[in-house]
Amino acid sequence: MKNVAVLVAIGVDQDGYRQVLGVCEGTKEDKESWRSFLRHLKERGLKGVQLVTSDKCLGLVEVLGEFYPEAAWQRCMVHWYRNVGSSVPKAKMKEVMAMLKAIHAQEDREAAQKKAVDVIVKLEAMKLAKAARIVEEGVGETLSYMAFPREHWIRLRTNNPLERIMREIRRRTRVVGAFPDGNSALMLVAARLRHVAGSKWGTRKYLDMSRLREQQQEKTHENI
């Protein structure tokens, strides 16, 4: 028996509804598995991708530009908080988390980056050099969502929607236990994803895409 990675992609279509874009088996979450998955998505017709939100899975980040060079990458804010928090003593955790949240509470990217500089200085003063280094090296990766309409920010800056689906998938696969092969596990996952897509998850509008279109028109006019 061996562990098998299942790669899942979800997205929001031009009308603002969530879609399951694809699922495939990956030997592990490495560069070649993600390259194969992205090629699969592109060959099936996925285009117009503007933003990809994920945790810092290096395999995905490294190959994203090969298939969707026009897409920005957003590092999941929640995963980044955990990454910073892993180097913070429990007694200081609440204060540090409040500092990190203050970065993402700013009105635009420029203000957020300035706030991040203040946070880095404060972390260093608190003798949290490792946390300060993680913030300095990674904060820019968590601010890509700020290039999009403010009304969309809360739903673009984390991959929580996918995490909830993956928790349900893990719950279902644990009930079964062991599978004879990876394809059997993939069939169960795909069936569960079809069920999710047909529920309120996929039939309720997730984003008002008119705001994105308005923003794009404004930028076009500014460049004329």
Q: What is the spatial distance between Cα 190 and Cα 196, in angstroms, rounded to a whole number? A: 10
Q: Using the predicted structure, report yes or no on whether residue 171 has a pLDDT greater than 90.
A: no
Q: Which residues are CB-contacts of 113 (< 8 A; sequence separation ≥ 6)?
A: 139, 140, 143
Q: Using the predicted structure, report yes or no on whether residue 2 has a pLDDT greater than 60.
A: no
Q: For residue 168, give the DSSP letter.
A: H
- Beta strands 51-54 and 72-75: pairing type? parallel
Cβ–Cβ < 8 Å for 33, 26: yes
Q: Using the predicted structure, report yes or no on whether residue 94 has a pLDDT greater than 90.
A: yes
Domain positions in the chain are 5-76+159-223, 77-141
Q: Which residues are CB-contacts of 209 (< 8 A; sequence separation ≥ 6)?
A: 12, 14, 15, 16
**What does the CA dihedral 135, 52, 79, 206 come to, rounded to 10 degrees?**
120
Q: What is the spatial distance between Cα 52 and Cα 39, in angstroms, rounded to a whole number? A: 15
Among 20-34, 95-109, 138-152, 201-215, which stretch is predicted with the lowest mean pLDDT? 20-34
Residue 222 pLDDT grade (very low, low, confident, very high; cuts 50, 70, 90): confident
Residue 3 pLDDT grade (very low, low, confident, very high; cuts 50, 70, 90): low
Please count the other Cβ atoms lying within 10 Å of the Cβ belonging to residue 128: 20
CATH number of 5-76+159-223: 3.30.420
